[in-house]
Chain A
Amino acid sequence: SQQGEEDPQALSIQEGENATMNCSYKTSINNLQWYRQNSGRGLVHLILIRSNEREKHSGRLRVTLDTSKKSSSLLITASRAADTASYFCATAYSGGSNYKLTFGKGTLLTVNP
């Protein structure tokens, strides 16, 4: 079964720097989504990118998708202390049961003020 895997597992940066997180997966997908989870809280949907898209922007977020390499990256520009959270990628399989999201273990981002 496919599994999204984020890299790195943990990332610590200074406020104002950019943060890049990567996600790899194993099988063909319909779309890939990124979520944020603050400690002990629920998941907040950040962005969805479809398999026929290569790049998408939302505010300070930029997501890329390379289906040939089965990988995606999330870039957060000009980071803020409030961006401190765990970031998960989730993939929707392109075959049957494509409503199931498969999550990786996440990247823990710490933005130091």
Chain B
Amino acid sequence: NAGVMQNPRHLVRRRGQEARLRCSPMKGHSHVYWYRQLPEEGLKFMVYLQKENIIDESGMPKERFSAEFPKEGPSILRIQQVVRGDSAAYFCASSPTGTSGDTQYFGPGTRLTVL
């Protein structure tokens, strides 16, 4: 059973470009979470999605950031017009249900560098 997959693992963008980060949850998991980790910091919750639905995006910046989890295909975190402050590691996690008793399994992360 493959774990959570994320790609690309490393992404370099210039200021003003768009970044697209992809996440495929573990097989059988329909709940996906995105977290951001700034250097020397813990992870911060960004958004929680189920298939075709955004459940909670309270941790996501209001502008330039969006997320989706279509019926088919991976979840996508999209950052438009990137700025240097967006440089961070972005982790995706998945769980079989959305309850707090679930373990969230994390992917290897995408490290975004904005030049």
- Seen from chain A, the residues whose Cβ lies within 8 Å of a Cβ on chain B are 4, 30-31, 33, 35, 40-45, 48, 50, 88, 90, 92-94, 97-106
Contact = CB atoms under 8 A, between A and B. Distances in A.
B98 A99 contact: yes
A93 B56 CA distance: 15
Nearest to B42: A103
Contacts, number: 67
B86 to A, nearest CB: 18
B63 interface: no
Contacts of A40: 111
Nearest to B41: A105
Interface of B: 6, 31, 33, 35, 40-45, 48, 55-56, 58-59, 91, 93, 95, 98-109, 111
B106 A97 contact: no
Contact of B99 (A45, A90, A99, A105): A99
Given A43-B91, A105-B40, A99 B33 contact: yes
Given A88-B42, A104-B42, A99 B103 contact: no
B98 A101 contact: no
A35 B31 CA distance: 19
B106 A102 contact: no
B89 to A, nearest CB: 8
Given A93-B100, A105-B40, 19 more contacts: A30-B100, A30-B101, A31-B101, A33-B103, A41-B108, A42-B6, A43-B43, A43-B106, A44-B106, A45-B104, A92-B100, A94-B100, A97-B58, A99-B31, A99-B33, A101-B43, A102-B45, A103-B43, A106-B42
Contact of B101 (A50, A90, A101, A102): A50
A35 B106 contact: yes
Nearest to A6: B42
A41 B107 CA distance: 9
Contacts of A33: 103-104
A80 B102 CA distance: 29
A97 to B, nearest CB: 6
A90 B33 CA distance: 14
Nearest to B43: A103
